[in-house]
Structure 1
């Protein structure tokens, strides 16, 4: 019983009633125009469904009146965009016809069923009263007991028709397969962008913290005021660069519609070399080919791969000689970082380390490949990134 009476206390029941009742306005207007050709009202309404903007109006009504709104209301899966394809327009035309039929039925029931209940009650006066719904023959006293039935019938019609329209809304007004695919691709792009930003922030802040830790430890061990001043300068410069990266990432997250700018490229690789040298590492860089011709995405990801590689050297091997080779060919960019393995070897990181995994993921996203691991007595990171 509680389940049957629950719709009475739900606001959406009455908004659905209003939504269906609105649909009866058009046939009511047409009744005054040409009552002998009522089928033309349905034909014209179907043709109106071919107008792209009408879908937006219908979806807005469906969201507000059929589904409801609020933090506890799940997403109904209704596309709040105009019709873009002919199948979308066809589904909208079907929706309008169903709404016309159910809305007219609800409107007729709303007008006549309460009138029928009133007539049943008036049977106590033994008057013969006919309604447009049903003729009441005779004047029987027990008509009074039947008076609640039309009200219950109206309640059932409103609840059932509203539930049916709410069930049909996502199926006839929902996004098409092409729209679902486009939304999925957009969502995937957003997730990939956030993953990329998180990886960049990890690389930049991780590099700055590694340089700061190495420099601070070296300065304390050296006990030289001159070396300490130089170490503090390197820490300051590296920290400032990390803060700039952090500010840029936060700006992108706050304003995702604005194009990203200011991301470093391989043309600024000297910043990384100077930072590593300032931390005490001996960096020998070999650059060949025009770095300025490398496409932006490849150059930016190459910079982050180089940054993570140098960070790993400082973190796991300390201030050791590092050989960096960056070669730009016709079809690919080759980046290689080599350094002597520390003795004793550090324990392997669980899962291979997030930094090395990030290098491989960056290369894979650009269609390239990355090799990381020990080769004889050296640790090598070798990455190939296609330029096309």
Structure 2
């Protein structure tokens, strides 16, 4: 019993009822203007449905009154955009006609079913007042038992018709094929952005924490005041840089659609090298070619790749001799980081966790390739990124 009464307690039942009533306003206004040709309102609605903006108005109204979502919520399943094709226009025309027919039916029943209840109640007396089309003889008390039935029928029709008009709206005002493709592309971009942000946090924060752990351990082991001072300075600088990177990422999360500005590029590689040197590693760098001419997307991703590679060196091999090579030639950017194999690398190899996986994903995203693993007695990370394809990538 409660299952059948529950719709009567939901606000959407009554907003759907209102939505159907609104559709009758156009018919009423037309009859006031021309009561001899009421059928012409059908043609009027047909022409109105061909106007692209009408679909936008109907979609917003349907979102607000037919669903439990707000009119700004795209999850309602109802599109709120002007007609982009003739298919959208004809679907809007059909929607307007169906809405008008259902609106006229529910309006008629809303007026006359309570009228029948009124007649049944008054027919219990000897002198009834007839409001509806029923011609009831008066003086029968048992009419009062039938009086609630028209009202029950009205509410059943209101709930059923409201559900029906919502289903029709989802089909006729729902996203077109082009809108679904656009929504899918937007969703894909959002997922890619979230994945990129996860890599940003992993690379930046992971690098800072690795440097801090290595520096703190080395300072405690040496017990040298001068070395401890240098270690604390390195930890401070690395932590400050990580906080700046974190703030840039949080800007993206707070303000949807805003691009990340000021992200570090290959021009900031010296900061990474100095951070690794401050951790005790002997870092040699080789730079060839016009690095400043590298397109922004490649330069930013290249910086992150080197950052992750150096983080892996400190994490797995410690402060060892490391060689970093950055070369721009023949339309591509080549990055290479070499360091001696650690004992764990020789026996088990590196686990290939999220760091190395992130390097490969970054390279693949830009149409490049990445190779990681033992090479001539050393551990090598080698990445090649094409400049022509990467120049077209937008962040």
Same fold by TM (over 0.5)? yes
Q: How far has the Cα of 1:139 moved from its partner?
A: 6.7
- Structure 1 window deviating more from structure 2 (164-173 vs 141-150): it is 141-150
CA distances 1:254-305 after superposition (whole Å, capped 9, x unpaired): 1233332111111221111121122111112121111111111111101100
Identify the residue that residue 336 of structure 1 maps to in structure 2.
336
**CA pair 9-279 structure 1, distance change in 2 beyond 3 A:** closer
CA distance in 2 between counterparts of 1:5 and 1:248 reads: 52
Identify the residue that residue 136 of structure 1 maps to in structure 2.
135
How is 1:301-316 mapped onto 2 (pairs within 5 angstroms)?
301-316=301-316
Identify the residue that residue 391 of structure 2 maps to in structure 1.
none
How is 1:219-298 mapped onto 2 (pairs within 5 angstroms)?
219-298=219-298
CA distance in 1 between counterparts of 2:273 and 2:45 reads: 70
Q: How far has the Cα of 1:223 moved from its partner?
A: 2.9
Instruction: Count residues in correspondence.
Output: 385
CA distance in 2 between counterparts of 1:351 and 1:153 reads: 69
- Structure 1 window deviating more from structure 2 (285-294 vs 3-12): it is 3-12
Identify the residue that residue 109 of structure 2 maps to in structure 1.
109
Identify the residue that residue 161 of structure 2 maps to in structure 1.
161
CA contact (8 A) 1:129 1:135 kept: no
Identify the residue that residue 26 of structure 2 maps to in structure 1.
26
- Structure 1 window deviating more from structure 2 (8-17 vs 160-169): it is 8-17
CA contact (8 A) 1:129 1:136 kept: no
SS of the residue corresponding to residue 258 of structure 2 reads: coil
SS of the residue corresponding to residue 280 of structure 1 reads: coil
Which TM-score applies when normalising by structure 1?
A: 0.90
How is 1:368-387 mapped onto 2 (pairs within 5 angstroms)?
368-387=368-387
CA distance in 1 between counterparts of 2:134 and 2:217 reads: 100
SS of the residue corresponding to residue 76 of structure 2 reads: coil
CA distance in 2 between counterparts of 1:137 and 1:271 reads: 95
Q: How far has the Cα of 1:185 moved from its partner?
A: 1.4
CA contact (8 A) 1:316 1:346 kept: no
CA distance in 1 between counterparts of 2:120 and 2:349 reads: 84
SS of the residue corresponding to residue 220 of structure 2 reads: helix
CA distance in 2 between counterparts of 1:344 and 1:149 reads: 83
CA distance in 1 between counterparts of 2:279 and 2:371 reads: 26
**CA pair 373-169 structure 1, distance change in 2 beyond 3 A:** same
Asked whether 1:51 is paired with 2:12, we answer no
Unaligned runs of 5+ residues in structure 2 are 389-395
CA distance in 2 between counterparts of 1:180 and 1:55 reads: 16
CA contact (8 A) 1:128 1:136 kept: no
**CA pair 350-15 structure 1, distance change in 2 beyond 3 A:** farther
CA distance in 2 between counterparts of 1:163 and 1:280 reads: 70
Give me the CA root mean square deviation. Answer: 2.6
**CA pair 64-201 structure 1, distance change in 2 beyond 3 A:** same
CA distances 1:211-254 after superposition (whole Å, capped 9, x unpaired): 22222222233332222222222222222211111121112221
Identify the residue that residue 174 of structure 2 maps to in structure 1.
174
Identify the residue that residue 80 of structure 1 maps to in structure 2.
80
CA distances 1:148-184 after superposition (whole Å, capped 9, x unpaired): 4433332332222111012222222221121122122
**CA pair 139-246 structure 1, distance change in 2 beyond 3 A:** closer
CA distance in 1 between counterparts of 2:66 and 2:323 reads: 67
SS of the residue corresponding to residue 307 of structure 2 reads: helix
**CA pair 68-341 structure 1, distance change in 2 beyond 3 A:** closer
SS of the residue corresponding to residue 205 of structure 1 reads: helix
CA distances 1:297-319 after superposition (whole Å, capped 9, x unpaired): 11110110011111111111112
CA contact (8 A) 1:371 1:381 kept: yes
CA distance in 2 between counterparts of 1:152 and 1:387 reads: 72
**CA pair 7-261 structure 1, distance change in 2 beyond 3 A:** closer
Asked whether 1:367 is paired with 2:381, we answer no
Unaligned runs of 5+ residues in structure 1 are none
